[in-house]
A and B are shown apart, each in its own frame.
Chain A
Amino acid sequence: MRPIDEESQRTLAVIDQTLAGEAVAPQDADLAELTLILAGQRPQPSAAFAASLDDRVSQRFAAAPARPSGQRARRARRSWLYAPGAAFAAAATAAAVVIVVSGGTPPRQLSTDLSATAAQSAPAIDNGAATASSSSATSTTAAAAAPTRAPSPAPATAAAGSASSSAAGSVSGSATGSASSSAAGLSPLVLDSGQANRKVIRSAQISLATRPSQVDSVAQQVFTVVGNENGVVNSSNVTATNDATGYAQFQLSVPSANLGATMAALSRLHGAAVVSRTDNSQDVTGRTGGAGQRLADARALRTALLRELAIATTTTAIDSLKVQIRDANASIASDLATLRALQRQVATSQISLTINASMIAGHHPANAGGSAFTLRRAAHDAGRVLVVVAGVALIALAVLVPLGLIAAIGAWFGFAVRRRRREQALDLI
């Protein structure tokens, strides 16, 4: 601050003394007179205006137009509180959209519901097929499907290939289920009984993930599930280790009527999470019908030939008929084999199952299939929630900070322009 000179200070002091009614030195009489003349020209409000304004003030400007009142006024006063909140909510929404679109966390929540929806779409396509043969496949990939609980307790025994913390073993075997199952009703893949006349070959692939130490346990559950669904383990290969190289592969056959229930049960194995799932179907109604028709024709031909053979009198005719009957029998055998093969494929569905031991980042398969609410699981979930919240907050900040800077610059610019215009208005006087 630049100090003012002595003469200026003395002049200002004389002005202040004069306005305060104090005496001044004789040499400052002119300045005092000027001061009094200027102060004497001070405009005074009229009594009517003063009374009117006093009244408005005493009523706290109650009659002022467009006055926000009561709760609305309080809300208006707090608008500065709501604005950042609304901005943060908008930014958080944008962040959530970004996460979803970019394939972040939400798709990992894909679980039985989505799987069921995808699976149910396959029969619908099959049933509607009008061509003799059609096929469709539905694939579902889930990084962390999390069935809430297993439909049945996990088997407590391990028949083979049990892995210790330091040993690794390889087990191959097969098992044939004999227990009856009443779980078909749980299946999301139940065939439409109204379309039972359609002949459809179904198959499925499912890939599971589990902890390295639980590969064997999950494999044993597969055997149990297949047995419960009257299925057959055509082949299996289980390699249980204590690291991520643990692996199991199964080729399963189950009655087609139990395919849905089997897939549902496999998706809910304790300690495993569904990584991917694919359902295939092929309509062979036309092929089956064609084979059946050929079989019927061949049988009719053989019947006719047998009748002709019964009335044949010449050796030549008899020999010729025998040759034709032999050909008809061969045709019947061939058609019968084809028809039975198709019927077998329709009646039995093939399932290809793989189990991989892995620790998916941020996901513990053991937690996905677990049914117990433990402190560890709660801590994991809480940490996960905090990570997601922090991520959303970070993204929101990334959106809000530039917007805030732009808004601040805009406000500053607007304020400067407004102030300049006001000052210009003063120059117009």
Chain B
Amino acid sequence: MDCAAVRSEGVIDSQTLPGRSQAPSGWDRFEALYRSSRDDVFAYVTTLLGDRAAAEDVTALAFERAYRRRRTFDRRRGEERAWLFGIARNAALDELRRRRRTAALVTDHEDPGAEPTAVEDGAEVALRRTTVMQALRGLPAREREVVALKFHAGLTNTELAGILGISESAAGTLLYRTMEKLRKACDASDR
């Protein structure tokens, strides 16, 4: 899958200097990872926590932890993005444990940062979107997390499997079942 369309954009590139032909240092690799993952991590954490303020804190904490632990990264155990999202997931779950409160997986409020798209035009599309979001809220937490990782964080099935600690086929099956549940829930709601 090409996730370029949904991956982070507009992140500063202050450390990219011309004339660098050497192999990237640890810092350069971290900065590249940050540039490609900032918005994705924020989207995933926001979806998981349902709280933008807390998501900002957790996102910053996740990147800081990743920076501190960048020397412990072992490529043999997975890609850097999966490693980063694993850190973010643990930080988010720790936040959930700390708060000891239930959080809606998907925010109820309109995301102020979201760009208006063409599909939002028209009452029918808005109604369709509301139906989908209601169906999404009816899913178990783990299936909602799969949706967040796939559609909000823009991860591949391989990365998703690495974060959840399951096989790639299991991740694909989980995603397929989740989508089927959503479609059925939407169809039932339409009737």
- Interface positions of A (Cβ within 8 A of B): 1-4, 7-9, 11-12, 15-16, 19-21, 30-31, 33-47, 49-50, 52-54, 56-58, 60-61, 64, 77, 421-423, 425-429
Question: Chain B binding site: helix, strand, loop or mixed by DSSP?
Answer: helix
Contact, CB under 8 Å: A43 / B46: yes
Residues of A close to B169: CB separation below 8 A: 1-4
Contact, CB under 8 Å: B63 / A57: yes
Q: Mark B76-103, 1 if CB is under 8 A from A, else 0.
A: 0000000000000010011011001111
Contact, CB under 8 Å: A41 / B106: yes
Residues of A close to B39: CB separation below 8 A: 44-45, 50
Contact, CB under 8 Å: B141 / A429: yes
How far is A50 from B169 in the complex, measured between Cα atoms in Å?
Answer: 35
Contact, CB under 8 Å: A34 / B43: no
Told that A422-B97, A429-B105 touch, could you supply 9 new A-B pairs with CB distance under 8 A?
A2-B170, A19-B6, A19-B151, A33-B119, A46-B112, A53-B38, A57-B31, A422-B93, A427-B141
B142 at the interface (CB under 8 A from A): yes
Q: A19-B5, A43-B46, A54-B11 are in contact. Are A31 and B179 (CB under 8 A)?
A: yes
Residues of A close to B5: CB separation below 8 A: 19-21
Q: A19-B1, A19-B3, A426-B141 are in contact. Are A40 and B97 (CB under 8 A)?
A: no
Residues of B close to A46: CB separation below 8 A: 52, 56, 112-113
Residues of B close to A31: CB separation below 8 A: 179, 183
A8 nearest in chain B by CB position: B176
Contact, CB under 8 Å: B183 / A30: yes
For residue A384, give the distance in angstroms from its CB to the closest CB of chain B. Answer: 42
Give which listed residue, B2, B27, B38, B175, contacts A20 with CB less than 8 A.
B2
Q: Mark B102-134, 1 if CB is under 8 A from A, else 0.
A: 111111000111110101100000001100110
How far is A224 from B83 in the complex, measured between Cα atoms in Å?
Answer: 83
How far is A428 from B42 in the complex, measured between Cα atoms in Å?
Answer: 21
For residue B93, give the distance in angstroms from its CB to the closest CB of chain A. Answer: 4
Contact, CB under 8 Å: A42 / B114: yes
How far is A58 from B11 in the complex, measured between Cα atoms in Å?
Answer: 11
Contact, CB under 8 Å: B176 / A37: no
A35 nearest in chain B by CB position: B151
B100 nearest in chain A by CB position: A428
For residue B174, give the distance in angstroms from its CB to the closest CB of chain A. Answer: 10
Contact, CB under 8 Å: B132 / A12: no
